[in-house]
Amino acid sequence: MDRVFNFAAGPSAMPAEALETAAREMLCYGESGMSVMEMSHRSKAYQDIFDGTVALVRELMNVPEDYEVLLLQGGATGQFAAIPMNLMGEGDSADYIDSGNFAHIAMNEAQKYGGVRCVASSREENYRRIPDWTQADFDPNAKYVYITTNNTIFGTRYARLPETGDVPLVADMSSNILSEVYDLRRFGAVYAGAQKNIGPAGVTLVIVRRDLLGRARKSCPQIMNWTIMAEKGSMLNTPPTYAIYMCGLCLKWLKEQGGVAAIEKVNIEKSKLLYDLLDESAFYRPAAEAASRSRMNVTFTTPDKDTDALFVKEAAARGLVNLKGHRLVGGIRASIYNAMPLEGVRALADFMKDFEMEHR
């Protein structure tokens, strides 16, 4: 069976080179005589793999020295609770921008632990754009301002970041981390589930400025406590060892592509190819507002729901799979993360033109 072009929103396509290395090393890694899966997380061989993965994160994201890099479990959903428990004391509050379904869930989860102000929301427009805000909207006493840099379901992206002064900006970057250059000094903490642009599901990357540690409330479960995890080098308990190894292989691939600045150019080219096609077409309609367009998740519709479904079906027959939009938006969604080659996006664009010719 040939490999398909997989446009899934996450878990999603991974570099074939990383998978080939993993297959080759599955029964025996180097001179260890065992699979990485079988290694004690306390062994030197595994610590080297772990440290190498963290070093690649630091290098590729240009992580400043005074930021900790943590590799945890529990996904973004775990961090929805961890963030307030690590950054807010009893009686404190935080500002949230409600730009999508996951931002909204994060806001709801945070309300279990402290005061939450919704600074701006595009919920009533079904999140088709990043909501507007002005400087005056933010509470200078907030413990943090929370954003979701890319909204997977709706296909939107912050084209500019809020200026939050001394209040730390905290960002869920799950669906666009490593896809474009960010200056981490703009943030107090960023985090991401691995399963879109880092590696397989089961790892959560957290990068936090060191001066924000030491604030976790006592009731924070140990595995969610950034301070304890930083002290223990992310190994308070057994980490998801193999998934972290896979992240390392994927990051190595990204470095070989030239790193984040280089892949950002490819990502701009890939997304432009599709958006130009959508803008020129009277058949397809882009779902997200132009100024808020994501480079990772391109959402659109055909003239009607039946045609949407036919599109997804016929695309799959051409080896272009997982194009069905999320139920909250409908239509079609092409997720084109770092591991989706330009060739795959070209194949999709060609199919889109053919499909339009046939069905308009």
Give 120 or 345: the residue with its C-beta nearer to its own copies: 345
CB of 189 to its own copies, least distance (A): 17
Please answer whether residues 97 and 224 qualify as being in contact, where contact means their C-beta atoms are separated by less than 8 angstroms. Answer: no
Per CB under 8 A, the list member of 100, 188, 239, 325 interacting with its own copies is: 239
Per CB under 8 A, the list member of 101, 122, 322, 338 interacting with its own copies is: 322
Q: Applying CB under 8 A, does 347 fall inside the site for its own copies?
A: no
Total residues contacting its own copies by CB under 8 A comes to 70
Please answer whether residues 235 and 218 qualify as being in contact, where contact means their C-beta atoms are separated by less than 8 angstroms. Answer: no
Per CB under 8 A, the list member of 56, 192, 213, 224 interacting with its own copies is: 224
**Mask for 182-221, x = binds its own copies (CB under 8 A):** -----------x-x----xxxx--------------xx-x
- At 4, list the tokens: 């398909």
Q: Applying CB under 8 A, does 118 fall inside the site for its own copies?
A: no
Buried b (16+ CB within 10 A) or exposed e, 256-282: eeebbeebbebbeebbebbbebbeebe
**Mask for 91-110, x = binds its own copies (CB under 8 A):** ------------------x-
Q: Applying CB under 8 A, does 6 fall inside the site for its own copies?
A: yes
Q: Applying CB under 8 A, does 230 fall inside the site for its own copies?
A: no
CB of 168 to its own copies, least distance (A): 21
**How far is residue 191's CA from residue 128's CA, in Å, rounded to a whole number?**
23
Q: How far is CA 249 from the centre of its chain?
A: 18
- The count of C-alpha atoms lying within 13 angstroms of the C-alpha of 82, restricted to the half-sphere facing its C-beta, is 30
Please answer whether residues 138 and 119 qualify as being in contact, where contact means their C-beta atoms are separated by less than 8 angstroms. Answer: yes
Alpha helices in 16-120 (DSSP H): 16-24, 44-61, 75-87, 101-110
CB of 71 to its own copies, least distance (A): 11
Residue labelled with tokens 């033109």: 353
Please answer whether residues 199 and 218 qualify as being in contact, where contact means their C-beta atoms are separated by less than 8 angstroms. Answer: no
Residue labelled with tokens 């990068």: 207
Q: Applying CB under 8 A, does 243 fall inside the site for its own copies?
A: yes
Characterize the bridge pairing of strands 67-72 and 93-98: unpaired
Give 74 or 341: the residue with its C-beta nearer to its own copies: 74
Q: Applying CB under 8 A, does 237 fall inside the site for its own copies?
A: yes
Please answer whether residues 172 and 191 qualify as being in contact, where contact means their C-beta atoms are separated by less than 8 angstroms. Answer: yes
Spatial CA neighbour of 82 closest among 217, 230, 174 = 217
Q: Which stretch binds its own copies (CB under 8 A): 53-61, 235-243, 255-263, 295-303?
A: 235-243
Q: Applying CB under 8 A, does 3 fall inside the site for its own copies?
A: yes
Beta strand spans in 149-247 (E): 150-151, 156-157, 169-172, 189-193, 204-209
Q: Applying CB under 8 A, does 73 fall inside the site for its own copies?
A: yes
Give 77 or 307: the residue with its C-beta nearer to its own copies: 77
Q: Applying CB under 8 A, does 328 fall inside the site for its own copies?
A: no
Q: Applying CB under 8 A, does 11 fall inside the site for its own copies?
A: yes
Q: Applying CB under 8 A, does 115 fall inside the site for its own copies?
A: no
CB of 152 to its own copies, least distance (A): 11
Buried b (16+ CB within 10 A) or exposed e, 94-109: bbbbbbbbbbbebbeb
- Residues in touch with its own copies (CB under 8 A): 1-4, 6, 8-14, 16, 19-20, 22-24, 26-28, 30-35, 37-41, 43, 73-78, 80-82, 85, 109, 112-113, 193, 195, 200-203, 218-219, 221-224, 236-243, 246, 319, 321-322
